[in-house]
Amino acid sequence: MLDYFVNAFATLFVTIDPIGLAPMFLAVTAGMSRADRRRVAVRSVLTAAGILLIFYAFGQAVLNVLGISVSAFRVAGGILLFIIALEMVFGKRQERKTETAEKAIEPETNHGAVHEIAVFPLAIPLISGPAAISAIILLTGQAPDTLSYAGLGAVIAFILLCCLGTFLLADRIERLLGDTAQLVITRLLGVLLAALSVQFVADGVLAFVAR
């Protein structure tokens, strides 16, 4: 059970990347007051929590309705996570996130609706993006018992609290780490995610063979 929790935490922490979201949060909330930034932070995390909770509770049911086996989703999800890992290792994911953040604050696309930034791009797709959703469905399928499944919910809640803390302390974190440290951390986490994604694919393939 401990191995499952460690794997779940590592997968979700690397996939959602709370620390890496700090500069994105600063970009989309540039010019806001501290109170407005706090409201955006809370709203974005609550929105993302609602989205991830849906897939945590009903992800397996969705797969069953569509006739998709857990093994097939492990392989597909593992491939998706591996692509994300490659982007992290080669520095492409941060560029893509930056582009998403910049589009959200362009005057011609924003129309002064600052409060909507909490939903897009922060909640979707920066926190609860396809990779995070895929990881949650994969992990729920791997839960060996009810206690582990409940523990996964606690892990998800903890990661979201990390996101909230990162947003509230974003300016300090960015100054503390600096560009070089952020690049090193992102690449190290990318290598870890690559290994985890390969394990997902291997487990799915072995499950197919055993059928």
- The verdict on residue 210 lying in a domain is no
Count the domains in the chain.
Answer: 1
Instruction: Using DSSP, state whether 112 is helix, strand or coil.
Output: coil
- The verdict on residue 41 lying in a domain is yes
- The verdict on residue 110 lying in a domain is yes
- The verdict on residue 77 lying in a domain is yes
Helices 70-89, 130-142: inter-axial angle, 10-degree rounding: 140
Could you count the other beta carbons within 10 Å of the beta carbon of residue 146? 8
Q: How far apart are CA 202 and CA 152, in angstroms?
A: 22
DSSP 20: T
Q: Measuring CA to CA, which residue among 196, 73, 56 is closest to residue 140?
A: 56
Predicted local distance difference test score (pLDDT) of residue 112? 43
Predicted local distance difference test score (pLDDT) of residue 108? 40
- The verdict on residue 211 lying in a domain is no
- The verdict on residue 16 lying in a domain is yes
The model's pTM is 0.76
Predicted local distance difference test score (pLDDT) of residue 110? 43
Predicted local distance difference test score (pLDDT) of residue 113? 45
Establish how many alpha carbons lie within 13 A of residue 6's alpha carbon, considering only the half-sphere containing its beta carbon. 4
Q: Can you list the residues of the chain whose pLDDT is less than 70?
A: 93-115
Domain limits at 41? 2-205
Q: Are 72 and 202 in contact (CB under 8 A)?
A: no
- The verdict on residue 82 lying in a domain is yes
- The verdict on residue 122 lying in a domain is yes
Instruction: Using DSSP, state whether 31 is helix, strand or coil.
Output: coil
Q: What share of the chain is helix, strand, coil (3-state, %, to 5)?
A: 85, 0, 15
